[in-house]
Amino acid sequence: MKKLLSKFFGGEARPRPTRPASGFRPSVEALEGRALMSVVGPELHVNSITSLNQDQVAVASSPAPGGGSVVAWRHQYSTSGTDTDIHVQRYDQLGNKLGGEITVAANFDLENQPSVAMDRAGNFVVVWVDNINNSGNTNVLAQRFLANGTRNGGVIAVANDARAEYDPDVAMDAAGNFAVSYTFQFSATDSDVYVHRFAANGASIGTTLVAASGLNEYSGSIARTADGRFAVAYQIDHLSGRSLDSDVMLNQYAANGTLQTSRVIANTTRVEISPDVAVDAFGNATVVYEEVFANLDHDIKARQVSSTGVLGAPIFVDLDTDYEFAPVVAVNPSTDNFVVSYQRLHNNGTRLDGPNQLIVREMNANGSVRGTTNLGDRFGAALGMNGSGTYFLGAAGFGLPGDQGIGIAGRRGVLN
C-alpha cells in the first residue's frame, strides 16, 4: 500500500495538480469530537538509529490471524542528503519489537521510496528506488527476508531500464509470491504503470502492462489476495481545455496476470488523485483517493469494487472544508470494515494553517464512520492489517525521544 513521499532530503514527491472547483457538497455528520478508535497502547518509537532524519514510511502486516508487522523507511545517512538508505524494523502481533533495526540497502546512492509486503508465514520483501550514482536514472530493486529477519537471497532487479522507474508498491500472497507495481518514465510527457510478478523464490514470472495510453499514468498502488489475485489502482492525467484533470482507475487481475476487470473509480469534473487500494480475503477491493473540491479544500473519498468488478457508490470519508490529503487504507479481510489515515491542514479561507494533523478514521463496510482519532503532528502515514483485524500504523514526525530530526512513530488499533 502506498505511502506519502515526503520532501525533506534526497528525492521528492511528484507535484500534485490542483485547480478550482465548485458544486454540490453532500452534508456529513460532524464527528471530530468523537475519539472512538481503539488505539492499543502508547505511541511506539520505531527507529533505533536516531541520527539525522527518517521518513517515507511503509508498513506491512502478515495476513495470518495474529500476524506480526514490519515497518520500512528511508534513513538519512549523510548530512548533505546525498546518501539515504532503507531500514526496517519487525514487530510481533502485540507490538513488541523483534530483533534490531535492519539495514536493507546502504549503497553510496540515494535509496528511497520503500514499500514492503509480508506473507502468511511472516516472510517479507522490501522494494525501493535506487538512484544510480545519483545520476537521475532510477531503478526499482527488491530484497527478500525470512520471518526471522535474515536476508533470503540477493538483491533483485525489478525494473532497470535505461529510463527512470520509480514509485514502487509491493504486495504478497499467502505463499510468498509477490508483485511490484511501478511507474516507467517512457518520455517526458508519458509515464506508464507496470507490474512485475515474482515467485516466492525470487524468480521472475512475468511483467504486466497496467496502463500505457500515451498520457501520464502513475501513482500505482497494489494489493493482493492470499491466492494471488491482485488489484492495481492508479492515477491518470487528462487535459480538459487548458486545465489538468486527473482521474483514478482500478484494474483487477487473476494470479497469472490476466486482466479481469477495469473500472473508473473517479472521473468527475474535479481532480482526483493519490489512490491507495486494499483487498479483503475474497478479492473485493477498497480504493481511497483525494478529491480537489477547491484549491484550499481537498476531501477524502472511497469506492468499493467487488471481486467480479461491481462498482459501489462513492463513500464520503471526510468532506469538511479543511485540506485533507494523502490517504492510505487497510481492510479487515473478513468483515470489510476499513481504516483510512490521511493528513489535514486547516483552511482559514485564504491560506492553509498548521500544525499538520494526522487523522485516523475507522469505517464500517457500508461506508458509515465508526470513529475518528487525531494523532497530531505526524505525517506520511502507512497502514498494514493482519488476519485478525489488528492494524499497524506507521508515520513520520518530530519530537520522538532522542531523535535529532524526523523519526518514525507507530500505533496499533483493532478493527473488528
317: Cβ–Cβ under 8 A, 6 or more apart, which residues?
Answer: 288, 299, 300, 301, 302, 327, 340, 342, 361, 363, 369
Query: Which pLDDT does position 58 carry in this prediction?
Result: 98
Q: How far apart are CA 379 and CA 164, in angstroms?
A: 27
HEC secondary structure over 39-102? EEEEEEECCCCCCCCEEEEEEEECCCCCCCEEEEEEEECCCCCCCEEEEEEEECCCCCEEEEEE
Q: What is this structure's pTM?
A: 0.92
Task: Tell me phi and psi for residue 241, to 5 degrees.
Answer: 65, -120
DSSP 296: T
Q: How far apart are CA 122 and CA 331, in angstroms?
A: 19
Query: Which pLDDT does position 390 carry in this prediction?
Result: 96
CATH number given to 39-414 = 2.120.10.10
Query: Which pLDDT does position 79 carry in this prediction?
Result: 93
- Phi-psi region at 239: left, alpha or beta (left = phi > 0; alpha = psi -120 to 50): beta
Query: Which pLDDT does position 31 carry in this prediction?
Result: 42
Distances in Å between the Cα of 314 and the Cα atoms of 141, 266, 291, 370, 401 are 35, 9, 11, 17, 41
Q: How far apart are CA 8 and CA 76, in angstroms?
A: 10
Each residue's pLDDT tens digit in the chain (416 positions)?
555 444 444 444 333 333 333 344 444 444 443 444 445 458 999 999 999 999 999 999 999 999 999 999 999 999 998 999 999 999 999 999 999 999 999 998 899 999 999 999 999 999 999 998 777 789 999 999 999 999 999 999 999 999 999 999 999 999 999 999 999 999 999 999 999 999 999 999 999 999 999 999 999 999 999 999 999 999 999 876 666 799 999 999 999 999 999 999 999 999 999 999 999 999 999 999 999 999 999 999 999 999 999 999 999 999 999 999 999 999 999 999 999 999 999 999 999 999 999 999 999 999 999 999 999 999 999 999 999 999 999 999 999 999 999 999 999 999 98
